Chain A
Amino acid sequence: VSSTSKRYGCNEGFDPVWRKLEGEFVVFDKNSGDIYCFDRGTRELLQLLQKDSLPAEAIETRLSSILDVEPDEVLVGYVESALRELARREIISVSNT
């Protein structure tokens, strides 16, 4: 399965309450009771994935527009790293289409 066929989406139980604290975001998951700290990019990414499951390329394109940054290799690396971290914390999951 190629990487382009992977789609990322929030796990069903994820039920966040967000608070912005000096440029960073703290989120409480009402389902698990866990608290996480994210930067703005990861917050926007999570909010995208709450609406829809998306492939990495679509996430990069949309984040580039939301954050007003170039869709370059820096953004690609950032998205890869954020997706890996969110999957490790079991906030998102990956499906193959």
Chain B
Amino acid sequence: MLRAQTIASQCRKLATTIVVCATAFVLRPEPLQADASTGTWTGQVTAHGNYYLETSTRVIMPDFAVEVETPSGLRLGADYLIDVITSASIASGVTEDDLHTELRHAARVSVGKELDVDGTPLDVSAFATFSIEPDYQSWIFGATSALSLNERNTVLQLRVSGVSDTVYNNINPTFEEPMWGLTTRFGVEQVLNRRMLLALAYQYDHLDGFLSNPYRVALRGPLPFPEAHPEQRNRHTADARLQIYFPRPHSSLHLMYSAYLDDWDVAAISPEVRYFMHFTPWFMTRLRYRYYTQTQSYFCCNGDYPTLAEYDGPITNDPKMTEHHTQLIGLRMEVGLGTLQDTVFDFAKDVWLEGTFDRYLNTNAFGNAWIAQLGGRVPF
């Protein structure tokens, strides 16, 4: 634990240094660009209400975000959300029927800019996210870069982010365990022709520290023991996305595929298809289907553990560690109010309303869920 705390502290310092350096690099003085003479600031304000409902858990999450781009091309972003989690779930550790409501607050800031490096566009950005709830605190720092080559036909992307979390326990005030992680992602986007785009990426995650649920227990023989996952996890993800544009009807098809493997013996694949269609300039829909299947971890699950008192290996009752599959079927609609231009409602002509409705089918113990979002955005 001491090692994890030390590493978490060093991770925070390193992440802070990276973000500060990236921000300073983005904000460094530069000669004004040609388009800066217009003095136009652009951006958008968005607000959404998000909803998640399954048998044992309900989440209501409003979020608000502001994005601004200055005349010199500097991008600034800030958003805030609050999670209202009402649960009697096996994950929360509540064993009776009483509902437990918990609030999570999260804020994120970001800064970015496209730079010109000897005629080659290089987009760099940095972000920081802070999230807090009664039994969990999380910091995420990160920086991304995208190098555009060959008249933007090829884009190389690199993202590095670090996470530093602290896990608490609402039942045991002395409980405090750290967790830190590092994520690196390398991607390539390639224009194939006038109507096709392909993106490939590889991501590596390393997690270290307390990776269990502090409330969950697992049975070893007849006796319950606190869940104890291994304290390290190395995760590898490769994904691909092929996007095809169709002029008639005005639409596009996105084919996606993801393959995953980690050292807990969890392997997963996830194909997904998305179909976007513009019915009119003011009405767009997205249909979506995603399939996901995974193997179980090597230390899964109840009933398979030695009853020997000296056994101190990993033990879990986590439904995520079981072999299972999920399906997600979704519909998204966007309606622009541009038709209100030159009417008494002209002030609302730039507003877009958005609605997303997903049905999530899950064969593990968490069960099926509904996921939805309603909201809108106002560009300026």
Q: Do A and B come from one complex?
A: no
Q: A residues within 8 Å of B by Cβ?
A: none
List chain B positions with a Cβ less than 8 A from chain A.
none
